[in-house]
Structure 1
């Protein structure tokens, strides 16, 4: 069973009990998913959690580049295929959660009709205001035009090489410029420019009716309403008439081959001849008259005037704050929800929305919700800082779980060894910078490079506001731009949520903090500019102003918020995370690498808060976005427990591999930072079963991506081929010829304890995720040990047939102790997953609604035990897991069982006294008579963790 939420209309949407993320693409379709539903049902999953299923760019492996919200992705199957998949889910008692992308659309190419409309008609397009475009940029020549940065070289070079070709579509009666896969429609009002010469009389006489029709059509095209007339009537007339004229032209050439011949000849002429520069003048003039400006892709850094998804040029942001845009983009998804096919939504990149709170309100209102009501299950992809809380006013059920994944991994890390691990890192890499400094510098870097245009748009807006008052009119544009950069670089969170509803207390604190810190850091002479920026953001500068001035300041504040989020994502997650490699399991989405471990008290507190405020939030441990899978992180965390072993081997490897490095640009390649990253990565991935060549290829691809993200020795914008080749060759030398490879011999001896204790960490991670407050989420395949890195490595197809066979093999096991001797740990992890998901299924209310209570641990080894109890209506579930097993056992590769726990005990009190049964071993445990405590040595005598249920707990599903 699943918890149900009633609405005023009587509709009941299920709260998931456990979700399973599937990555749909042309290699894994609706039909493929339907075939594995029985396996997921047997595993104990209640809802499939699907990656985006709407029509995306052809060949997309992730689905986030949606090009049409009104269609299912044909590469995933037909509507009938989707319906059969849903029917299969329902027949097995499962539901469907779907990931949707409201923030942006895939553009460029030739498959997005909204974007093609904008290119053809500019501000007068029917869909012009669906996109977040600045039609009044600072550069005058770009007024009412949009930058299209798709060229592989400078515009003049591409033009005169003949790569831009005008084409005529005889069927549609329309003209476009073609550049590789990109189609760029010509404004119909500019069609007459194509015809510099009339139809020759030798082709058609002056009194021929077809000549008259053609010339009349050119006049009609030329008389279309101009692009700068954006009134509703003009837009409607322009659309109606241009389409009518195109149809007339298509019919005309069917009647007159002579007209078609003249069109083709004119197209050939205007396309020019490579080597004859002057022959491209006409095409250049035609392109200059369009609603777009074609440019070299690098120009986007400074001049792009449409909001993007981060810095991806072919993902254009939507104005989701417009109700008409909201309605049309969600129409199909809402129809599928109404039909009972979809049970809930995951909202991608909610920080990119103009007003997330309003967006979530509209979602819930569509299904009968009102203030404070959440009838539809909705989770948001929101990255929270450690000190940040999800706004309680948002009508969602929680986050997608990055916060949980980061917290649980940080809890695995031994914080007592921070100083030693930091000294080792500093000594090896010679990197003395703090993570906070690197994050600040990295945000500054991306605002000078890939996101410079977004900052420029804000500077233009702020400059206009400054000139509204004589007291601020002297602030230069350069000073305003620098203040914006500095404040964003100092922002402690992804964004604030200032809106027409006002400025919250937390938002005020954040803005005061960031502007104050920026002011102190600034080397500029005029620091009052930061006060001005602060007052505009908080609205105090609008006091006593005209309504239009107040509105301009509010719009600036809300646009500012939409920039801080991508700057933080690109600067921190995609730059600083690759520049600070002290312990890379902490460099995770939603994590903070400067926070080296957290206490058990902190983990308990987070669980208590989630149980109180967000009991149905997702609990993720691996996702399509995580930098490393949970099993890789679980193993790397062990290094913090074995700092001496890490130091010894690291020094040895540095010596063994010193001759494998090259000199590139008078510096070693790989540099010391990348080498430190590589050793940790290899420790997280290594298995003696890996085939050498595939492992080398995976590591080469990963290190190339990591190096480009770090932007030190190479980058995406300016790849350093020599450096990347040196790193790739270094990896080959590290892993080749294993029979006589001294490094590999030493490395495999080191990695054995890390892998052993990493498997225990993995079991602990799995058990805590399934039993803690929230909805456990499983990324495809992670019910088994999964050792993958950042995408695309984590998109490796899952062998579901093998997984099903393994599930069959453990389904009759009643005592998991027998599985612990298996070296790969596969069946042990699957067993824990299956057993605990079955427990959730047998008593869904206990885990969905039950209270959470930390349990007191006493005795010599108490710091190594984490315990809590879930209770509901007289039933209870006690969870006891080990922490820092490698440290507990001083690196000796054996399980933390029996008398190793000495006198340590867990006090249950009245929460779960009496007879308890361990779900994982079927062993019966009885509490002591005096204080209802259990000895850890008794509870963890044969299996390294325990989940104990009271006799009153229901059994069966």
Structure 2
């Protein structure tokens, strides 16, 4: 396998259209005692009744014990026992088939779980046998660097090493077992440890690990899908399930880390031509997946970024910039991002950059040049030879930042531009870790302007999207990747889709919000303005947030913020102080708490309007829409793992049972369930209606507040910037012209010709019309 990437032929495209789901519903299986394949069988009837065409499962292969996500696979050959095992998967897929539901599986091609070494038999073999292991080349290990460095000890490792114990044929350190190689077992436990193929070192050792990992997660060791034996071993179960009719498509986790993502995709298509495959890729603004990639498209972060910004008022940006400035924050996050990148290159990914530098020893100052190019890099990765524009731009930025290194930068850049050069291949694998750590994990928690914009696939530097920009994006999406997945929430999003929709309302009330924040933060100063703004917006967006959820969010936000506490060096006293501070804005016993509650009451209805608008556009727009478990109701989750809790399906079933009525827009979320079900059922019953794309424009004084489009047999319209619409007195005589007869799937009302928006949108801020 590992054939060169090629364009998909016409026959394969036809098969792709035939096999693609019309929509998907994501289930997250946390394993016993929570969600399993067995317990989720009961959910399938509800999902089918909701209208979804496919069930999309989180990873199901054997994972690290007690894993709540299973992206830490330890054995790709068996179904995870904690999620039900083989029998449960067969029963689950049999029932899905009986309901007409397709099954989409989540594949983890980049890495495996190694945080509990004994749980992973392949990693255990590598630790015990070193380069002689049959699996030594399965993992992406820098064997030329010497012993395999495992950064698993405390910052001061000496006390940990003094407590090493031996138990038969294993060494035990900090509660974890490590193997003893044959012939190395004589002497004290410490002496035995020194003879192994691996060396345990401090968790913050800048020279470790000597294996590629997922971002900076030591417990996730990368594997080498470019090796045909690895491809066969890691993907065989998925491919067999497709052949057996138990799986209809694959979602691929983090293919940015692979040496050759294009070849991996081509290998999957070679095994099953026309297979619906959607890789997770984080694309920057105006960045596109190469059309040569043999897949349907991405998992939809790009669509989410546009929809989030479509409901943000461009006029509100300056008030937020001024608010930041009054507390010493920069006008934009560019400097903050560059500083975070430089910190990341010198810290969490230093070992990866050292490995790059060892591949370019013929170039003086290669390490310094690599540092500057990485700091200047603005995307997850390049996909050479298809795209080198970002690399060229990064090289230009590096020269400008460090002119004294121009010669070294040019020499390194020449090698990085050669797609066949091992240095270029590994650089492309490394840059994604930099982006994921420095921007997503750090800057997104350090730049609290309008936090709904600090989301995967977006950037806080990008404020809003105009209707014309959105239409151009969706029209291109329909032309180039009409079967890509679209989404508004995932297991990785920092905030639920309805948290972001509510926060977007603040952009329409920017002056009022800024005035209150200035007063509040003067009366009750936060430890840091940026952290305080982040937490305050989380509180407003997710209100009413539980004690446990707020406690966890404060802890995670403060540690990711990283100034006075961190995951590696937690300062629980500081965290308690921050928790007490935000409680002052939550408690009804305080004046500030009552004011915040009043703000939530003020923006909540317009947040609901925003939610229904972007949901209608996602569900009816180009692509294959995914509904993340429970987000057919109000999705007020915060960061993972808070967005993976058990869903109240009884409540959702009750809402679905009332979806034939004109239900109110209120806390019950019945209106959102109604919208989601209507759109999903329509996609399932009339898929031919969801082709093509053209903007729908209104006429009249409030025309700018309508956003909508027409497909071949469906029209979706929604309300944009609802606060401004109310301030101008509503829709007035603004109209939209409908050619032919159309029925609103939400109200059942027929419409044709010139229709007043005040009549079309009298019950809901959105309409999904189907041609009659």
**Normalising by structure 2, what TM-score?**
0.95
The CA deviation at 1:179 is: 2.1
Structure 2 residue 380 is the aligned partner of structure 1 residue 494 = yes
The CA deviation at 1:74 is: 0.3
Cα contact 2:57–2:105 (8 A) shared by 1: yes
1:372 corresponds to: none
Change (3 A) 1:419 1:12: closer
Change (3 A) 1:704 1:8: closer
Structure 2 residue 462 is the aligned partner of structure 1 residue 595 = yes
Give the distance between the partners of 2:113 and 2:600, measured in 1 at CA: 43
Aligned counterpart for 1:709 among listed residues 536, 557, 560: 560
Aligned counterpart for 1:417 among listed residues 316, 326, 341: 316
Give the distance between the partners of 2:406 and 2:373, measured in 1 at CA: 12
Give the distance between the partners of 1:434 and 1:856, measured in 2 at CA: 33
Q: Secondary structure at the match of 1:302?
A: coil
Give the distance between the partners of 1:111 and 1:752, measured in 2 at CA: 50
The CA deviation at 1:656 is: 4.3
Cα contact 2:321–2:331 (8 A) shared by 1: no
Give the distance between the partners of 2:332 and 2:366, measured in 1 at CA: 28
Aligned counterpart for 1:510 among listed residues 387, 390, 393: 390
Structure 2 residue 759 is the aligned partner of structure 1 residue 938 = yes
Deviation per CA, 1:68-89, whole angstroms, max 9, x where unpaired? Answer: 0011000011311111111110
Deviates more, 1:9-18 or 1:290-299: 9-18
Cα contact 2:283–2:457 (8 A) shared by 1: yes
1:28 corresponds to: 35
Deviation per CA, 1:374-395, whole angstroms, max 9, x where unpaired? Answer: x101001000001101111111
Give the distance between the partners of 1:649 and 1:750, measured in 2 at CA: 10
Cα contact 2:508–2:724 (8 A) shared by 1: yes
2:672 corresponds to: 829
Structure 2 residue 325 is the aligned partner of structure 1 residue 426 = yes
Cα contact 2:17–2:483 (8 A) shared by 1: no
2:211 corresponds to: 306
**Normalising by structure 1, what TM-score?**
0.77
The CA deviation at 1:7 is: 5.8
Q: Secondary structure at the match of 2:140?
A: coil
Cα contact 1:354–1:559 (8 A) shared by 2: yes
1:861 corresponds to: 702
Give the distance between the partners of 2:748 and 2:633, measured in 1 at CA: 22
Q: Secondary structure at the match of 1:128?
A: coil
- In structure 2, runs of 5+ residues without a counterpart are 1-9
Cα contact 1:700–1:727 (8 A) shared by 2: no
Aligned counterpart for 1:905 among listed residues 715, 730, 735: 735
1:87 corresponds to: 94
The CA deviation at 1:702 is: 0.9
Change (3 A) 1:534 1:905: same
Aligned counterpart for 1:878 among listed residues 712, 715, 721: 715
Give the distance between the partners of 1:450 and 1:923, measured in 2 at CA: 58
Cα contact 2:251–2:277 (8 A) shared by 1: yes
Cα contact 1:344–1:377 (8 A) shared by 2: yes
Aligned counterpart for 1:727 among listed residues 573, 578, 583: 578
Give the distance between the partners of 2:417 and 2:155, measured in 1 at CA: 43
Structure 2 residue 325 is the aligned partner of structure 1 residue 482 = no
The CA deviation at 1:287 is: 2.3
Q: Secondary structure at the match of 1:315?
A: strand
1:673 corresponds to: 530
Change (3 A) 1:942 1:102: closer
2:143 corresponds to: 135
- In structure 1, runs of 5+ residues without a counterpart are 138-142, 169-174, 195-269, 272-282, 370-374, 467-474, 540-549, 659-668, 892-898, 928-932, 952-957
The CA deviation at 1:935 is: 2.8
Cα contact 1:904–1:936 (8 A) shared by 2: yes
Aligned counterpart for 1:887 among listed residues 710, 724, 727: 724
1:217 corresponds to: none
The CA deviation at 1:9 is: 13
1:459 corresponds to: 357
Cα contact 1:656–1:742 (8 A) shared by 2: no
Deviation per CA, 1:595-648, whole angstroms, max 9, x where unpaired? Answer: 110110111111111111111111100110000000000000000011122123
Aligned counterpart for 1:296 among listed residues 186, 199, 202: 202
Aligned counterpart for 1:322 among listed residues 197, 214, 227: 227
The CA deviation at 1:889 is: 1.1
Change (3 A) 1:114 1:942: closer
Change (3 A) 1:25 1:618: same
2:190 corresponds to: 284
The CA deviation at 1:655 is: 4.3
Aligned counterpart for 1:187 among listed residues 181, 190, 199: 181
1:926 corresponds to: 752
Deviation per CA, 1:53-80, whole angstroms, max 9, x where unpaired? Answer: 0000011111101000011000011311
1:150 corresponds to: 152
Give the distance between the partners of 1:128 and 1:334, measured in 2 at CA: 24
Equivalenced residue count is 760
Q: Secondary structure at the match of 1:294?
A: strand
2:453 corresponds to: 586
Give the distance between the partners of 1:181 and 1:405, measured in 2 at CA: 42
The CA deviation at 1:336 is: 1.4
Cα contact 2:319–2:514 (8 A) shared by 1: no
Q: How does 1:409-808 map to 2 (within 5 A)?
A: 409-427=308-326, 429-432=327-330, 434-463=332-361, 465-466=362-363, 475=364, 479-498=365-384, 503-504=385-386, 506-507=387-388, 509-522=389-402, 525-539=404-418, 554-658=421-525, 670-687=527-544, 695-736=546-587, 738=588, 740-808=589-657
Q: Secondary structure at the match of 2:730?
A: helix
Q: Secondary structure at the match of 2:617?
A: helix
Cα contact 1:99–1:345 (8 A) shared by 2: yes
Deviation per CA, 1:187-207, whole angstroms, max 9, x where unpaired? Answer: 21434xx1xxxxxxxxxxxxx
Q: Secondary structure at the match of 2:83?
A: coil
Give the distance between the partners of 1:793 and 1:453, measured in 2 at CA: 32
Q: Secondary structure at the match of 2:377?
A: coil
1:852 corresponds to: 693
Q: Secondary structure at the match of 2:219?
A: strand
Bigger Rg, which one: 1
Change (3 A) 1:715 1:108: closer
Give the distance between the partners of 2:658 and 2:755, measured in 1 at CA: 32
Structure 2 residue 311 is the aligned partner of structure 1 residue 386 = no
Q: How does 1:251-262 map to 2 (within 5 A)?
A: none
Structure 2 residue 671 is the aligned partner of structure 1 residue 819 = no
The CA deviation at 1:830 is: 0.8
Aligned counterpart for 1:159 among listed residues 158, 161, 175: 161
1:60 corresponds to: 67
Change (3 A) 1:647 1:9: closer
Give the distance between the partners of 1:717 and 1:155, measured in 2 at CA: 14
2:298 corresponds to: 399
Q: Secondary structure at the match of 1:829?
A: helix
The CA deviation at 1:589 is: 0.2
Q: Secondary structure at the match of 1:574?
A: helix
Give the distance between the partners of 1:748 and 1:8, measured in 2 at CA: 52
Q: Secondary structure at the match of 2:564?
A: coil
Give the distance between the partners of 1:10 and 1:781, measured in 2 at CA: 31
Give the distance between the partners of 1:8 and 1:744, measured in 2 at CA: 56
